[in-house]
């Protein structure tokens, strides 16, 4: 059950990624600078590397099931604000969103390793990447519907709903892990993963 929830979170997270990345350059061009929009997207995406390092470091110190909802929770308001603010603040907020989004990637990868059946970790990674990039790839089309109907800001607001459901799934994973740890090993909840 938890592995299926992780896969579902991967799909939703992939939708958010594809939707956000597809329209972030246009959004930056419209609301920051027409000529430098692409450069500002590059700056924001560099924060993804910072997020990966932060997420990887934290995942060595905090139980993954506890960390995933915190990082998803931090990403939601940043994604909402990406759809609302403009100018230099948009570059900052988009960078914050990308940082928190990518910080959760090492956490999800660790959860797959933890929940995959014995002898099926490699296959489980394959399924997760198909889920995140294959099924999640529909995010560009979904965000495009928002853009066609309203504007690029609406795409980010729409993607925030998917991120909120990802948050909900990570909370469910956390609750399941807490119940299991109390049943299997009382006192385990206070230790690292």
What CATH number has the domain bearing residue 6?
Answer: 1.20.1250.20
* Backbone region of residue 87 per phi and psi (left: phi > 0; alpha: psi in -120 to 50; beta: other values): left
Residue 83: the pLDDT is 94
The answer as to whether 189 is a domain residue is no
Domain count, the chain: 1
Query: In terms of Cα–Cα distance, which of 27, 41, 46 is closest to 86?
Result: 27
| pTM assigned to the model | 0.84
Residues 175/181/182/183 CA torsion (nearest 10 deg): 110
Three-state SS for 136-188 is HHHHHHHHHHHHHHCCHHHHHHHHHHHHHHHHHHHHHHHHHHHHHHHHHCCCH
Residue 189: the pLDDT is 45
C-alpha to C-alpha distance for 52 and 164, rounded to whole angstroms: 20
C-alpha to C-alpha distance for 126 and 92, rounded to whole angstroms: 33
Sorted by sequence, the CB contacts under 8 Å of residue 163 that are 6+ apart come out as 12, 13, 16, 72, 75, 76, 79
Residue 191: the pLDDT is 42
What is the residue range of 90's domain?
2-181
The answer as to whether 69 is a domain residue is yes
Residue 192: the pLDDT is 46
The answer as to whether 191 is a domain residue is no
The answer as to whether 159 is a domain residue is yes
Q: Tens-of-pLDDT digits for all 193 residues of the chain? A: 788 898 889 889 989 999 998 999 899 888 887 877 778 888 888 999 999 999 999 999 999 999 999 999 999 999 999 999 998 899 999 999 999 999 998 999 899 888 888 888 888 888 888 888 888 888 889 999 999 999 999 999 999 999 999 999 999 999 998 888 777 655 444 444 5
- Decide if 162 contacts 78 (C-beta within 8 A): no
Query: In terms of Cα–Cα distance, which of 11, 13, 5, 3 is closest to 121?
Result: 3
């Amino acid at each position: 059950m938890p592995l299926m929830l992780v896969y579902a979170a991967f799909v939703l997270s992939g939708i958010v990624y594809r939707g956000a990345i597809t329209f972030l350059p246009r959004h930056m061009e419209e609301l920051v600078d027409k000529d430098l929009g692409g450069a500002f997207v590059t700056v924001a995406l560099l924060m993804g590397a910072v997020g990966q390092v932060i997420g990887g470091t934290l995942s060595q110190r905090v139980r993954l099931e506890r960390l995933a909802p915190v990082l998803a929770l931090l990403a939601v308001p940043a994604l909402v604000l990406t759809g609302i603010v403009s100018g230099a603040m948009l570059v900052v907020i988009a960078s914050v969103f990308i940082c928190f989004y990518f910080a959760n990637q090492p956490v999800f990868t660790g959860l797959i390793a933890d929940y995959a059946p014995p002898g099926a970790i490699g296959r489980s990674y394959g399924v997760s990447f198909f889920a995140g990039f294959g099924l999640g790839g529909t995010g560009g089309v979904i965000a495009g519907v928002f853009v066609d109907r309203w504007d690029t800001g609406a795409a980010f607001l729409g993607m925030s709903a998917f991120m909120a459901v990802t948050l909900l799934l990570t909370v469910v994973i956390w609750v399941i892990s807490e119940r299991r740890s109390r049943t299997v090993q009382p006192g385990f909840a206070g230790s690292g993963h």
